[in-house]
Amino acid sequence: DKGGIDHSPSSFRDIKIDANDHLTTQLRYTFIEPQIAIVSPMKNQAAPIHPETGNQLPVSVNTYNSQAKTSSVSYVLSNPEDDREIAKGNLSPLTDWNWSGSIQIPANENGKKLNLTVTSSFNDGKEATATSQFLYQKDFKSTAITGKDWNTLLQNASHSGGINDSQIKLPLQLQWTANTGSNIFMASPLIVGQKVFIATTDDNTSLNTYICAFDFHSGKQLWKFRTENSVKNTIACENEIVVAQDASCNLYALDAASGKPLWQQYINLKNYPYLSEGLTVDKGIVYAGIGAGLSAYDLKTGKVIWTNTDWKQREGSTTTLTIAGDVLISGTQWGGLYGNDIRTGKQLWKLSDNGLGNRGASPVYKDGKLWIISSKSFFLIEPQTGKVLQQKELSANLDVTSTPLVTEHEIIFGSADRGVFALDKPTLFIKWRAETLPSLVYTAPYSSTPQAAVETSPVSSQGMVYIGASDGYLYAIDQSTGIIKDKLYFGAPVFSTVAVSGNRMIVCDFAGNVYCLSSKAAEE
């Protein structure tokens, strides 16, 4: 009934055994009342119709009920001007949260505002209904402004891409949405070479788990590679090679163009063979694993360059490896924060006092320092020595996977119970706090209803901070004041940090959806 020690979701397991001893099991996420959200077409937006789909309107719905499974999702499309029904039918399930399909719309409805009403029926007899009014625009398109690649969590191995040169402005417009076929946890999307890469998770016995590639402009799936287990956290790409590690300690290197495996390694953790951490890549070297399995690999060949022999993994964590100059920063939950020499793998220092051992977050390396949250404090640390330069204790639970955004005037990050915080950079006083709603699914250790968690990292564009929350919303927050300027509801928690490039943003939710959003001002 709470977030797990390793940030595993609050849940219970439904197990069935038939007369032939065949076992099936499904995880059910706790505390969610019957609910439904239309995520495509989005309310009060133009519908994302592309030339190759003809008059087909893509429809995507997130729906869930903790106490009962979704048995069907039906839709009615109508014209509100004359209350005329245009089409009705049923959607198909893609994941435990998402149902999708497409609707054929007559050409004479082009340019009109239409109403889409969807109803989810659960096998306990309950229902949930949602309505979205949108503009059907057959020739809808927008101009994409080319931007820089987004190679890993927060763009680079130092995770300093939270401040970037993207050109995203409100209001946002949905360009396309696609679904991976399984849940997306703390893996964040990549934008590299006009492709979007993401990895999925599945805590059921089917292990419906993949690394996927989509076309950045259309959302068309380019390839899908099945992994042996869930990819729980950060993936990365460099030199046209995508790398990821799964929960069963397999390290994969895939050709970015085709998805074909180039090499694979087993990460030997020895005492606790389960990986929920994230890897990174920099200058032709992959840094992966944790504890006794923390290693550096040659990106092209998979050859092991060094392996850590100085410290062991403890409980699973949600940290992502960070490169801070010549130091590789890593850590374990209920263990500590570690600095290892990036060339030899030798441990340089360990920090576990003052709450630094109770942590799921990763630091950002910026201005020669590490900026990180842990337990109930913000820390500023010298990466070469591990010396704590500053500590600011706050009246909030900060055991979340949120890497701080360091701007000219603010330090911004998520919390486990009180939404998004901003500290004044010179004084470390609280500058503002943006409240989010109670989590749909609880992941921060020991957190439970009605706490409001934000496990993701903030990303800033044009003075606006974009951050997904466990309540199912993507928030747009004024960077200097903390005022929430806009929010989009997905109806499924967002555990994945957004990626931005040019005038477009990629957002992923736990339902397995990948969304491409752009500035409406960019429309032709």
- The number of beta carbons lying within 10 Å of the beta carbon of residue 346 is 13
The letter for the amino acid at 198 is I
Per-residue pLDDT at 53: 61
Q: Do 295 and 308 contact (CB within 8 A), yes or no?
A: yes
Maximum distance among all Cα pairs of the chain, rounded to whole angstroms: 73
Q: Which residues contact 2 (CB under 8 A, 6 or more apart)?
A: 10, 442, 445, 446, 447, 448
Exposed e or buried b for every residue in 83-107, given b needs 16+ CB within 10 A? eeebbeeebebbbbbbbbbebebee
- From the first residue on, what is the mean pLDDT of each consecutive set of 10 residues in the chain (524 residues)? 92 94 91 96 84 77 96 96 92 96 88 95 97 86 84 97 92 95 97 97 89 95 97 97 97 98 95 90 97 96 97 89 98 92 97 89 97 96 97 94 97 96 97 96 91 96 97 98 97 98 96 93 44
CA distance 390 to 382: 10
328: β partners: 323, 340
CA distance 348 to 364: 18
Burial group, residue 234, by CB count within 10 angstroms (0-12, 13-18, 19+): buried
CA distance 432 to 434: 7
Per-residue pLDDT at 523: 43
Q: Do 110 and 93 contact (CB within 8 A), yes or no?
A: no
Would you state the structure tokens that stand for residue 461, as one six-digit string? 């564009």
Give, for 276, the enclosing helix (H) or strand (E).
none
Per-residue pLDDT at 50: 60
Q: Do 38 and 57 contact (CB within 8 A), yes or no?
A: no
